[in-house]
Amino acid sequence: MSRRGLASLPFLFATVLAAVTLTLTHTPARAEVVPASQPSSALRVAALLPLSGDLAPLGASVRQGLELAAARVNRDGTFAGRPIQISFLDTQAKFSQPATLAAAAILADQADALIGGLEGPAAVAIRPVAEKRRTVFLVLSTSSRFVADGGRYTWRVSTSGTQLADAMATFARETLKAERAAISSDVVAEQSSLAADRFADQFVKFGGQVARIDSVHPSRDAPTIAELGSRAGQAKAEVLFTSLGADQLLGYVGGFRTKAPDAPVLLAPPPWGANGVLAAGAEALRPGYVAVPFAIDDPDARVRAFVDEWSKAHPATQPDAFSATAYDSVMLLAEAARKRDAIGGELRDRLAAIRNLPGVLGPMSVSEAGEIVRQVPICRLEAMAGKEPGNRLVFLQRVQLNGFKPPTSQPVDHPK
C-alpha cells in the first residue's frame, strides 16, 4: 500500500527572475530584479526559491505571478511613490542553501522581506534566519514539516492542506447539511492524516458525528482497499471525506459506492493531486466536491480581473494556485508598506495588522497563528463535456475559514 496520500506531497511552488549574480559553493545562483525607478526608496524583497531542476516548471507560474503583481504595484503607485524591487535567488532545491542565501539577502542586499520556502525543509531552514534578523518571511510551503506557529516575523501565505480540510468540513455541515461523515486517510502518510484529522475535528466541532475507517498497512489478514471502502459505506454516513492518494482513492470509493451510491465524496487535494480526481475512470467520485486554493472560473470580480490581466500578459497559458498565491503575497507586502506613514512601526507590525485585504484568493487577514485566513473555493465534480471521459471542476461557492453557520436551508442536490 502506498506511503503517500493525496495530501501527503509538500505543497510546492517555484519561481524565477534575473540580474544579480550570487555564487554559493561554486555554483552560480542568478537573481533577477523587477525594475524600479527609485531603487534607494524601494521596498526590497528577496525570493529564495528553486529556479532550476525538477521544480522549474512550477517556477514559471510563480515567476509570472510575482512579476505581474510587482508591475501593477509599481505602475499604480501602491507605495505612494515607493517602488517594489524583487530579487530571486536560486536555492536549486538543495536544502543546504536556503539559510545561507537568506542571510546574504538580508545582510548584503538589505532585503526588507523574504518570500520563499516552497519545500518544507527550505522553509524550516530560512525561518530562524529571518526571525534572528527581524525580517518578514512569507512562506509558500504547506508541508507538515513546516509548522505555522505564530513566529513573530514568519507567516504562511499559501492555503494549507489542513485549511482546505477545514473549509470542506464547514461546507459539509453548512451547505450539504450532513450530520454524519465517514473519513479515510493513509495512516502512513503524514499530510493525509493531518487533513483527515482537521476535517474530523471541525466536523465534530460543528455538531456532526464521524466514523473513521482508514487505510492500513498491507498484510495477509488485512482487508483490501475496496473492503475498507465498503465498511465506510455501511457506516450510515451522509458524506465521505477522503485524503487517500490516487493509487488508493478509486478502489476505496468504489467499495464505498457499493453501499452508499449517492453519498457525496469530499476531497481536498493539493493542486497536482487534482489530476487523479479529473482523470478517466474517476467517474465514481461523482457526486463529489473538491476544495481548491484557486478556481479559475470563480465569478468573483477580483478573480476575473486577475485572469484578464494574466491573459493579456501571457495569452498562451492560464493562471493557477501557484501564480495567484504569488500575486497575493506581493499585495500583502504592498499594503503593509502603504501603511507606513499612517500607523508607523516595523513592516512586520503593519503586516500583522492587515484584516480583510481584498485578494485574488479572497479577503486576507493575517492571523496570530502564523497563517493567512481567507476564503476557500469549493468546486463540484461534473462529467466532461461530450463523450470525453473523466471529470471537470466547476466552481460552486466560497467558504470562509472559521466561518461556520448552522444550516438554515434545504440540502442541495448532487448532480452526477
The CATH number covering residue 182 comes to 3.40.50.2300
Nearest to 263 by CA among 242, 245, 288: 288
Q: Per residue in 231-282, pLDDT tens?
A: 999 999 999 999 988 888 889 999 999 999 999 999 998 765 666 688 767 8
Between 190 and 25, the more confident residue is 190
Q: What is the mean pLDDT of residues 4-10?
A: 36
The vertex-274 CA angle with 273 and 275, nearest 5°, equals 90
Least confident span in 72-86, 103-117, 259-273:
72-86
Q: Per residue in 156-213, pLDDT tens?
A: 999 988 899 999 999 999 999 999 999 999 888 888 899 999 999 999 999 999 999 9
CA dist., res. 104 & res. 15, Å (int): 18
Looking at the domain assignment, is residue 5 inside a domain? Answer: no
**Which residues are bridge partners to 398 per DSSP?**
377
- Cβ-contact 263, 255 below 8 angstroms: no
- Cβ-contact 215, 244 below 8 angstroms: yes
Looking at the fold, whether 247 and 394 belong to one and the same domain comes out as yes
Per-residue cell: 379: 468546486
Looking at the domain assignment, is residue 8 inside a domain? Answer: no
Looking at the fold, whether 122 and 52 belong to one and the same domain comes out as yes
Q: Per residue in 87-105, pLDDT tens?
A: 988 888 777 788 899 999 9
Looking at the fold, whether 119 and 224 belong to one and the same domain comes out as no
Neighbouring CB atoms inside 10 A of 278's CB total 15
Looking at the fold, whether 235 and 328 belong to one and the same domain comes out as no
pLDDT in the model for residue 134: 94
Q: What is the mean pLDDT of residues 59-69?
A: 87
Nearest to 81 by CA among 110, 38, 52: 38
pLDDT in the model for residue 10: 36
Ramachandran sector of residue 114 (left: φ over 0; alpha: ψ -120 to 50; beta: rest)? beta
Whole-number average pLDDT of the chain = 81
Looking at the fold, whether 321 and 280 belong to one and the same domain comes out as no
Cα 228 off chain centre by: 29
pLDDT in the model for residue 78: 57
Looking at the fold, whether 232 and 279 belong to one and the same domain comes out as yes
If you write DSSP's letter for every residue of 24-89 in order, what string do you get?
ETTEEEEEEB---S-GGGSEEEEEEE--SSTTHHHHHHHHHHHHHHHHHHHHHTTTTT--EEEEEE
Looking at the fold, whether 276 and 363 belong to one and the same domain comes out as no
Looking at the domain assignment, is residue 361 inside a domain? Answer: yes
The b-or-e profile of 332-367 (16+ CB within 10 A means b, else e) is bbbbbbbbbeeeeebbbebbbebeebebbbbebbbb
CA dist., res. 357 & res. 225, Å (int): 44
**Which residues are bridge partners to 265 per DSSP?**
240, 288
pLDDT > 70? residue 226: yes
CA dist., res. 163 & res. 221, Å (int): 36
Q: In Å, how far are 129, 254, 413 from 250, measured between CA atoms?
A: 43, 6, 23
Contacts of 187 (CB under 8 A, 6+ apart): 193, 214, 215, 216, 217
pLDDT in the model for residue 218: 59
pLDDT in the model for residue 316: 94
CA dist., res. 333 & res. 111, Å (int): 13
pLDDT > 70? residue 385: yes
pLDDT in the model for residue 345: 75
Looking at the fold, whether 259 and 391 belong to one and the same domain comes out as yes
Looking at the domain assignment, is residue 414 inside a domain? Answer: no
pLDDT > 70? residue 342: no
Q: Which domain holds residue 352?
A: 19-159+300-373
Q: Per residue in 284-321, pLDDT tens?
A: 899 999 999 999 999 999 999 999 999 999 999 999 99
pLDDT in the model for residue 19: 29
| Residue 121, H or E segment | helix 120-132
Q: How confident is the model at residue 343 (pLDDT cuts 50, 70, 90)?
A: low
- Cβ-contact 170, 241 below 8 angstroms: no
Looking at the fold, whether 39 and 149 belong to one and the same domain comes out as yes
**What DSSP designation does 9 have?**
S
Between 266 and 37, the more confident residue is 266
Per-residue cell: 371: 497563517
Looking at the domain assignment, is residue 28 inside a domain? Answer: yes
Between 284 and 13, the more confident residue is 284
pLDDT > 70? residue 121: yes
Burial of 405 (0-12, 13-18, 19+ CB in 10 A): exposed
Looking at the fold, whether 329 and 201 belong to one and the same domain comes out as no
CA dist., res. 15 & res. 95, Å (int): 16
Looking at the fold, whether 173 and 285 belong to one and the same domain comes out as yes
Looking at the domain assignment, is residue 407 inside a domain? Answer: no
- Cβ-contact 114, 139 below 8 angstroms: no
Q: What is the mean pLDDT of residues 67-77?
A: 88
Contacts of 281 (CB under 8 A, 6+ apart): 250, 389, 390
pLDDT > 80? residue 1: no
pLDDT in the model for residue 17: 28
pLDDT > 70? residue 8: no
Looking at the domain assignment, is residue 193 inside a domain? Answer: yes
Q: What is the mean pLDDT of residues 52-81?
A: 81
pLDDT in the model for residue 195: 92
Looking at the fold, whether 388 and 256 belong to one and the same domain comes out as yes
Looking at the domain assignment, is residue 378 inside a domain? Answer: no
Residue linked to cell 542586499: 109
- The domain total for the chain is 2
DSSP three-state, residue 103: helix
Q: How confident is the model at residue 27 (pLDDT cuts 50, 70, 90)?
A: very low
pLDDT in the model for residue 69: 94
**What DSSP designation does 364 have?**
B
Q: How confident is the model at residue 135 (pLDDT cuts 50, 70, 90)?
A: very high
